[in-house]
């Protein structure tokens, strides 16, 4: 299963537990176990054998290192990794796993005042936060496509919620899948219309597993009939639980979480209402329990919004309160924007693909980092 002096990469869809099981199975003979050392580094935790190989499990990708046996106390991660040629302690392009959270309708000021967990993480240096400026019209459907394509609505062609259709542009899901990555989502029905290649079936599409689709693993919700009488919004912690289960079951390289609740309450009570602000906090409260788990599963986490909400229960125009949204980042990327910089929403798509180790599509706006 693992060959001697190989720097090849295995891309078999193995979870951490499956690989650990394989190490104790007949897939590796006792002779090989005695001759080689295989260490699985899983966020700092490893298994040690006898020999001269170190391995690193990053999502579904098992990377092999052709190195000498480390002495007691040495850290495998500091060893020289070979990328098809000899190199001395030179970092290779690394692929990461990314969870993108879209807090639909959660404006910048609302996030700063209500998201105590996210803001606390910023104060402690566990995360970074910037103000982001959306494209226009600042409507949900056009912004979903802008976030995923790096294009202005006038370029990708989806300029209103009434004009929702399948995406015709290169997007995070399609580009990642073409590069051999696995994708997933927990999101509202609009994302099915955009990025799944067959019609929405109200009795079947809420659970989606199709390796031939741009979104391969998903749990969708419809919010059919929502309005002032009934918000029809899933609980935030339930959405986070669905993301966690998908991450553990399928280890998607790119995983989207989309929450509609703040937008729904904003349209019902207005962006200056107690109900709206409380719902923004409810999202933060759920993320406070989910993000540490996702980080332990090896994910970088980005939290942002598609647009804000004004006091008149509306968005779609040019008001600052509609176009200013937060952008939080939990991860280890270098070359981050300066504190206080204003970022463009059009840079999200290329940024996510860069973090995945995938080249952005032509036409996507430049990455933020």
- For 147-203, the pLDDT digits (tens) are 999 999 999 999 999 999 999 999 999 999 999 999 999 999 999 999 999 999 999
Phi, psi of 345 (to 5 degrees): -60, -25
DSSP structural state of residue 213: S
Give dist(CA 168, CA 149) in Å, integer: 10
The encoded tokens of residue 205 equal 């599409």
Model confidence at 332, pLDDT cuts 50, 70, 90, reads: very high
Cβ atoms of residues 360 and 354 within 8 Å: yes
The answer to whether the beta carbons of residues 137 and 332 sit under 8 Å apart is no
| pLDDT grade for 232, boundaries at 50, 70 and 90 | confident
More reliable by pLDDT, 158 or 228: 158
pLDDT for residue 55 is more than 50: no
Q: Distance of CA 293 to CAs 42, 129, 244, 284, 328, Å?
A: 14, 20, 8, 15, 17
Mean pLDDT across 44-64: 34
The burial of 260, by beta-carbon neighbours within 10 Å (0-12 exposed, 13-18 middle, 19 or more buried), is given as: buried
The percentage of the chain sitting over the pLDDT mark of 70, rounded to a whole number, equals 75
State yes or no: pLDDT of 86 exceeds 60. no
CA distance readout (Å), 30 to 21, 57, 62, 66: 14, 22, 21, 20
For residue 141, pLDDT over 60 is answered with yes
Residue 353 above 90 pLDDT? Answer: yes
At a CB cut-off of 8 Å and minimum separation 6, what does 350 contact? Answer: 150, 360, 364, 365, 366, 367, 368
The topology under which CATH files domain 97-356 is: Alkaline Phosphatase, subunit A (3.40.720)
pLDDT score of 227: 81
Q: How many helices (H) and strands (E) does the chain have?
A: 13, 13
pLDDT band at 315 (very low <50, low <70, confident <90, very high): very high
Q: Are 138 and 311 in contact (CB under 8 A)?
A: no
CA dist., res. 25 & res. 28, Å (int)? 7
- Who has greater pLDDT, 130 or 53? 130
Closest CA to 234 of 261, 209, 207: 261
Burial (0-12, 13-18, 19+ Cβ within 10 Å), 284: buried
Average pLDDT over residues 197-220: 95
Cα–Cα distance for residue pair 175/163, rounded to 1 Å: 23
306, with CB counted inside 10 A (0-12, 13-18, 19+), is buried
List CB contacts of 131: < 8 A, sequence separation 6 or more.
Answer: 108, 324, 325, 326, 327, 342, 343
- Give the model's pLDDT for residue 228: 83
Share of the chain above pLDDT 90, in %: 71
How far CA 178 is from CA of 62, 129, 252, in Å, comes to 19, 31, 14
For residue 120, pLDDT over 90 is answered with yes
pTM equals: 0.76
Structure tokens at 323: 């176009």
Domain ranges of the chain: 9-78, 97-356
Q: Give the pLDDT of residue 94.
A: 64
| Mean pLDDT, range 277-296, rounded to an integer | 98
Least confident piece of the model among 128-132, 172-176, 190-194, 220-224: 220-224
Instruction: Tell me the per-residue pLDDT of 12-39, one tens digit each, with 9 for 90 and over.
Output: 444 444 443 444 333 333 333 333 233 3
**Residue 315 burial by CB count (10 A; 0-12/13-18/19+): exposed, middle or buried?**
buried
Mean pLDDT along residues 107-125 = 98
Q: What is the dihedral of CA 348, 349, 351, 352, to 10 degrees?
A: 110
CA atoms of 74 and 84, how far apart (whole Å): 24
Closest CA to 315 of 132, 187, 161: 161
């Amino acid at each position: 299963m693992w060959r001697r002096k190989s720097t090849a990469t295995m891309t078999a869809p193995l979870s951490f537990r499956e690989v650990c099981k394989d190490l104790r199975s007949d897939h590796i003979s006792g002779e090989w176990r005695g001759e080689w050392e295989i260490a699985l580094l899983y966020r700092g935790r490893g298994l040690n054998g006898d020999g001269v190989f170190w391995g690193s499990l990053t999502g579904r990708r098992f990377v092999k290192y052709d190195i000498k046996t480390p002495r007691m106390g040495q850290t495998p991660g500091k060893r020289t990794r070979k990328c098809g040629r000899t190199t001395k302690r030179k970092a290779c392009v690394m692929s990461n796993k990314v969870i993108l959270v879209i807090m639909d309708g959660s404006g910048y000021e609302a996030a700063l005042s209500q998201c105590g967990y996210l803001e606390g993480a910023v104060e402690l240096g566990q995360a970074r936060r910037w103000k982001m400026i959306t494209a226009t019209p600042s409507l949900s459907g056009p912004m979903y496509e802008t976030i995923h394509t790096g294009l202005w609505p006038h370029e990708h062609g989806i300029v209103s919620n009434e004009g929702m259709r399948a995406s015709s542009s290169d997007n995070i899901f399609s580009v990642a899948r073409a590069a051999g990555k696995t994708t997933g989502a927990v999101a509202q029905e609009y994302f099915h219309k955009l990025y799944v290649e067959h019609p929405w079936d109200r009795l079947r599409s809420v659970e989606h597993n199709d390796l031939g689709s741009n979104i391969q693993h998903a749990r969708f919700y419809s919010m059919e009939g929502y309005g002032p009488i009934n918000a029809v919004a899933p609980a935030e912690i339930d959405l986070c639980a669905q993301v966690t289960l998908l991450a553990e079951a399928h280890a998607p390289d790119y995983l989207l979480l989309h929450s509609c609740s703040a937008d729904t309450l904003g349209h019902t009570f207005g962006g200056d209402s107690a109900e709206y602000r409380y719902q923004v906090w409810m999202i933060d409260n759920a993320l406070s329990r989910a993000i540490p788990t996702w980080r332990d599963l090896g994910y970088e986490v980005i939290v942002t919004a598609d647009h804000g909400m004004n006091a008149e229960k509306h968005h779609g125009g040019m008001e600052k309160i509609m176009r200013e949204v937060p952008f939080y980042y939990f991860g280890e990327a270098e070359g981050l924007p300066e504190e206080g910089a204003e970022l463009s929403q059009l840079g999200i798509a290329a940024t996510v693909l860069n973090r995945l180790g995938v080249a952005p599509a032509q036409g996507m706006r430049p990455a933020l980092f």
